[in-house]
Amino acid sequence: MFEASKLAKKYKIKQCECPSGKMTRFAEPCLLFFLSQKSSYGYELMEQLNSFGFQKAKPDPAVVYRTLRSLEKEGCVLSKWDTNASGPAKRNYKLTQKGLDLLHGWAKGIAIRKSVLEKFLNQYKRCFKKQGGQI
């Protein structure tokens, strides 16, 4: 459907690149939220992302670790190596107050976006209800 549009053909776009297609940026508030509940390590955080419906495949580990490094650089999380557990050493991440403040900011922004998106969907449904528009 999208691929057949004139713009898609003109710019040789093979699939929709709308924000709902990729939720890479949404990983940040999710990771902050998980760390607000308890300290954790990268693999466990990736497993938790699955519970938020991240794509059909597992989240990209590179995105998760890049986001965690960025959050650490900004002072939003702290990390330390855990060598006490059996198996290889794991880097444990812990949320800072700055990270908690960032999480609250994300939640406010998401609430605003949610309101805007709900308005769009309500108008869409009203407009296309007669034509059988389904979401």
pLDDT of 49-67, one tens digit each?
A: 887 776 555 678 888 999 9
Question: In the chain, what are the domain boundaries?
Answer: 24-128
pLDDT of 4-33, one tens digit each?
A: 445 445 555 555 444 444 566 888 999 999
Backbone angles phi, psi at 88, to 5 degrees: -70, 155
pLDDT of 92-133, one tens digit each?
A: 999 999 999 999 999 999 999 999 999 999 998 888 877 665
Interatomic CA distance for residues 65 and 67, integer angstroms:
5
**pLDDT value of residue 56:** 56
131 Cβ contact partners less than 8 Å away, ≥ 6 residues apart: none
Name the pTM for this structure.
0.76
- If you average pLDDT over every residue of the chain, what do you get? 82
68 Cβ contact partners less than 8 Å away, ≥ 6 residues apart: 31, 42, 45, 77, 79, 93
Evaluate whether the domain defined by 24-128 bears CATH number 1.10.10.10.
yes
Model confidence at 68: pLDDT above 60: yes
